[in-house]
Amino acid sequence: MAQQVLTAQQIEALIHQGLPAAKETGLAVVSVEGREAWVRQPFLANQIRPGGTISGPTMMALADAAMYAVILGNLDGEEMAVTQDLHIRFLRRPKQQDLLAHSKIVQQGRRAVIMETFIYSSSDVEKPVAWVTGTYALPLPR
């Protein structure tokens, strides 16, 4: 992948522009450095599912956004990379607070990038609440 040229704020703006729902929920790109990114999803009461835990779709969307942030940061804003697959394993109940996702590239090829993301409750970044792996398909060269 190319050297990162976009800042976390520029990457966040691209995500918000392409997916307005991310802006509405307050999704924030905290940092993108090299082949890694940290993304924050602010806690919202409407994310709670029966049983008092943050919903799985909320965590899946956060992981997908964190992986996309890594892609955008490493492909100079290439917005046409798309999620090919995503697998999530829920490890423990998240606290009713902001969530943080730490995503990194595991392997990159010419047509796909494999990534790994850990999701944490913001008060405890030592114990992940979910582990996510995913692949992004890269666009054909022009």
Using CA of residue 61, residue 63, residue 67, residue 73, what is the dihedral sign? Answer: positive
Instruction: Give dist(CA 53, CA 47) in Å, integer.
Output: 8
Phi and psi, residue 78, nearest 5°: -65, 100
pTM over 0.85: yes
For residue range 37-85, what is the model confidence (pLDDT) as tens digits?
A: 999 999 999 999 998 999 999 999 999 999 999 999 987 666 788 999 9
- The CATH code for residues 8-137 is 3.10.129.10
Tokens encoding 125: 């970044």
